[in-house]
Amino acid sequence: MQEKLLQAIDDGTFTLIGDIKSVKVNVRIISATNRDLWQEAQAGRFREDLFWRLNGFPVHIEPLRERPEDLLEIAEHFLEQGAAELSLERRELTVTARKALLEYKWPGNVRELKSVIGRLLVFSDDQKIEADDVRRQIQSAGNDKASHTDHSLRTNLENWKRDHIYAILLACDYDIPMAASMLGIHRVTLYKVMRELGLELKRV
């Protein structure tokens, strides 16, 4: 893959999978990474010639935990984006919820923030998101090892929501009040979500 990318940068051509003809392109490449590519090149895991092709105008962006002024703005963006994708009403972060977001170190950076905001949209009963909601979903996100990087936000949340709720229901033997309590939502909300996901309302 690195060799093909290098060729595309050098001569502006690439070949589609299954084709034999080269396609000519005129593009500018913007790339991003969370690794030190120079160290990767020195270790032989990244082509040094490709590194220099991509290193024309490097911009270093500090991790999210070091940019509190950006964190809240990004969180608001994900709230608006997620609500639109899931056809939900816009949620509002309270002052204490904002403080909880700022206190967390976000080792997963922006992807982790997006995941937590998505969970808050799905599992918050009220229009206002409180600090306890934030902490609960941060903990829940930390326990979830599923990867959500290759799908849309809607697909990510629906798949995770179905699996997570089903696991809780099984653990509670379909005791709805207990499951709702563990999920931190009202039982009426749980019934609604179960119907939307096609989950059985009876014990199995």
Mind spelling out the 3-state secondary structure of 78-143?
HHHHHHHHCCCCCCEECHHHHHHHHHCCCCCHHHHHHHHHHHHHHHCCCCEECHHHHHHHHHHHHH
Task: Give yes or no on whether 64-143 and 153-197 have one common fold.
Answer: no
pLDDT tens for each residue of 136-155: 888 876 655 444 444 455 66
Q: Where are the domains of the chain?
A: 2-54, 64-143, 153-197
- The token pair at 91 is 């949620």
CA dist., res. 158 & res. 199, Å (int) = 12
**pLDDT, mean over the chain:** 82
What is the average per-residue pLDDT within 81-85? 85
Read off the DSSP letter of residue 165: H
Options 1.10.10, 1.10.540, 1.10.3470, 1.10.1060; CATH for 153-197 is: 1.10.10
19 or 80: which carries more pLDDT confidence?
Answer: 80
pLDDT tens for each residue of 1-16: 788 888 788 888 888 7
pLDDT at 148: 44
> In angstroms, how far is CA 197 from the centroid of its own chain?
21
What is the average per-residue pLDDT within 152-169? 72
CA dist., res. 87 & res. 19, Å (int) = 41
Domain 64-143 has what CATH class?
A: mainly alpha
Cross-strand partners of 23: 14
pLDDT at 99: 95
What is the average per-residue pLDDT within 125-144? 82
Residue 169 has pLDDT above 90, yes or no: no
**pLDDT interval class at 22 (50, 70, 90):** confident
- Model confidence, pTM: 0.55
pLDDT at 142: 64
